[in-house]
Structure 1
Amino acid sequence: MKQDFPNLQNDAIIKAAKGEKVDRIPVWAMRQAGRYLPEFKEVRAKHDFFTVCRTPELACEVTLQPLKRFDLDAAIIFSDILVIPQALGMEVQMVPGKGPTFPEPLQTPKDISKLNHKPDVHKELGYVFDALTLTRKTLNGKVPLIGFSGAPWTLMAYMVEGGSSSTFSKPRSWLYKHSEESKELLNILTGTIIKYLVGQVVAGAQLLQLFESHAGVLNQEMFNKYSLPYLKRIVDEVKKNLIEADIEPVPMIVFAKDAYYAIEDLAQTKYDVIGLDWTVDPVQAREIAKKYGKSLQGNFDPANLYDTQENIEGAVKKMIDKFGTKSYIANLGHGMYPDMSPDHLKAFIDAVHNYPVGDT
């Protein structure tokens, strides 16, 4: 069922995603709603992390917190990529000082049989849809609302490892020891993600971002086998399903962190925007993006926000000089860190907006 939403007042990020002319470069920041904001810490002092995710009013409140402080060009719904494993029947805890933890990870391929292979996304993840709808209406057209999901390999990595890791050796071992079972799990995740993303657009999301956060632990051959095919299937089927439902497909962003080798392959998919981490050379990425008519997003080093505000402004100028102003969304190369100063994020945002667009 189509929703009746307020008219959009600032569509710069949507225009940039489509390669259209903008009056100023749009900017948002991954994890812009989060632990670096005092007001977010106040909410978390009263509520468990996943309680915030599962309570539409709280998710809406924290989604809008950074927009009250900063001149951002988009909101991104407050949620977590690990709501998908939860929908499949796994328990996930957010442990202070440790991060996401699975008390009972998938230890052998036989454990795949314990999962709910085809969950009802409206039943299991309806709270995300409700949060999106409430937030979209509360925004009142101020800026677009971004929805998101984790990508299959990244979710599998957490589900098998049982939490975060520098190597993700357990799930990587599955790819070599249990190739077919790994593909089975990736297909289960892919099918759920497709339904989840389509549901997000129906609920109010105006752009979508897919986070392949742990792409970088795979070499190119393994990425091409266990990540890329599923990323392609997701964008193909999400857009196809929306068209069949008589809903205009929204721009889709893919962010495969540390997978510098995959930019050209990703540019040949139906994703509108390729997100880049801070290790990627903007000039080389732009050459590839131009070839395939894609927009780029990124890639300011988050650690650069520890520098002085004056130096941040200079670094932003250097970055945009390399990217150019067309078909470009400014962002960090990864998310905000908990100990960062909100004032320094403001300096980043303002520096982006102060960069002259001109007629190019």
Structure 2
Amino acid sequence: MSETTRSRARRAHDLPLVAAARGATPERRPVWFMRQAGRSLPEYRAIRADHGMLESCFDPALVCEITMQPVRRHDVDAAILFSDIVVPLKAAGIDLDIVAGTGPVIADPVRDAADVAALPRLEEHSVGAIAHAIGLILDELPAKAALIGFAGAPFTLASYLIEGGPSRHYERTKALMHGDPDTWHALMGRLADITIAFLRVQLDAGIDALQLFDSWAGMLSLADYQTYVAPHSARVFAEVADHDVPRIHFGVGTGELLGAMADAGADVIGVDWRVPLHEAVRRVGPGKAVQGNLDPTLLFAGPDVVDREVRRVVADGDRAVRAGAAGHVFNLGHGVLPNTDPEVITRAVELIHSL
């Protein structure tokens, strides 16, 4: 059975995450956690003790193992492909590394039109390992668990390329955006090409849903987002719409951008902990599902607080559905923090499934 045929067969099982995203009634409330495959798990740390981050992202067996670890441990309703947003940039030939304690570091930052023109394109064969990994994951994934693929959105990729790495203020990014809009849009177009190509490889390999991470879009005003970012994210969503899978859009600190992010074309809008889910529906409009939005730090506050806050988010998710959301996918408002006790996550999943 091919990967695509296998994925269609899995979707016929009415995966809870897919059902919630499409406005159907899932057999249980779907839950997964951003960064669920990562440093909170001792089994992940054991692997990473002998393997670098980028090495792990391009090894199909390691990608499969790391992706599956939280599914086995927590009984979440989705696995998210273990990768990093800079993987397609690395695969395309851009000189970068992921430095422990820092994050992605770009050897030659993009600063002008000549730098943009020199950017390579992503060839499908260069991410063949990711397609292979997806096949391995689908062979192992439980029948009712979805596999979510992902990619970084063009703006977040652009910010890393321009700044040379993580940034607090994004001064170079915003300076290029406003000071040389032609070069900015050319860069965003090239990065949209890379993102589309990367997602298409994942879709052809059989993922059940995808998430576009615009991690740093919350640094922008609504006007800047609509002018300089939204058209390129919309193009990404449009170019992958021929694959019949739910499309999730997420950013941090994006409360003022939720409506514009929804307009870009996603089926599910990720909401961080700053905006209640029922308020997010008002900003997004009816007909789209919401995902979120427990504050990740509350997993450190003790069992009584976790119990109370999980119940609160579940109730707010139900309120969001009554307000017009297609469905609710439980998640954190951002990623699992490295020192989170895995047992707390497991107990939270059990509670969510019981409600």
**Cα distance, 1:4 vs structure 2:** 3.8
Please give the per-residue CA displacement for 1:143-168, whole angstroms capped at 9, x wherever unaligned. Answer: 11000000000000001111111112
Identity of aligned residues (%): 34
Give ranges in structure 1 of 5+ residues lacking alignment. 243-248, 356-360
Structure 1 residues 2-81: aligned runs within 5 Å: 3-5=4-6, 7-8=9-10, 11-81=15-85
CA distance in 1, matches of 2:271, 2:117: 36
- The aligned residue for residue 358 of structure 1 is none
**Cα distance, 1:92 vs structure 2:** 1.9
- The aligned residue for residue 185 of structure 1 is 187
SS in 2 for 1:110: helix
Q: How many aligned positions are there?
A: 345
- The aligned residue for residue 333 of structure 2 is 333
Deviates more, 1:38-47 or 1:102-111: 102-111
- The aligned residue for residue 313 of structure 2 is 319
**Cα distance, 1:331 vs structure 2:** 0.2
Amino acid at match of 1:151: A
Contact 1:10–1:144 under 8 Å retained in 2: no
SS in 1 for 2:149: strand
Q: TM-score, normalised by structure 2?
A: 0.92
**Cα distance, 1:323 vs structure 2:** 2.1
SS in 1 for 2:224: helix
Amino acid at match of 1:257: V
- The aligned residue for residue 275 of structure 2 is 280
Q: TM-score, normalised by structure 1?
A: 0.91
Contact 1:267–1:292 under 8 Å retained in 2: no
Amino acid at match of 2:201: G
Structure 1 residues 195-210: aligned runs within 5 Å: 195-210=197-212
**Cα distance, 1:142 vs structure 2:** 4.4
Contact 1:109–1:178 under 8 Å retained in 2: no
Please give the per-residue CA displacement for 1:165-187, whole angstroms capped at 9, x wherever unaligned. Answer: 11121111110112110100100
SS in 1 for 2:49: helix
SS in 1 for 2:157: helix
SS in 2 for 1:125: helix
Distance 1:100 1:294, change over 3 A: same
Structure 1 residues 1-360: aligned runs within 5 Å: 3-5=4-6, 7-8=9-10, 11-116=15-120, 118-120=121-123, 122-139=124-141, 141-240=143-242, 242=243, 249-289=244-284, 291-324=285-318, 326=321, 327-355=327-355
Contact 1:232–1:270 under 8 Å retained in 2: yes
SS in 1 for 2:104: strand
**Cα distance, 1:343 vs structure 2:** 1.4
Contact 2:192–2:232 under 8 Å retained in 1: yes
**Cα distance, 1:309 vs structure 2:** 1.7
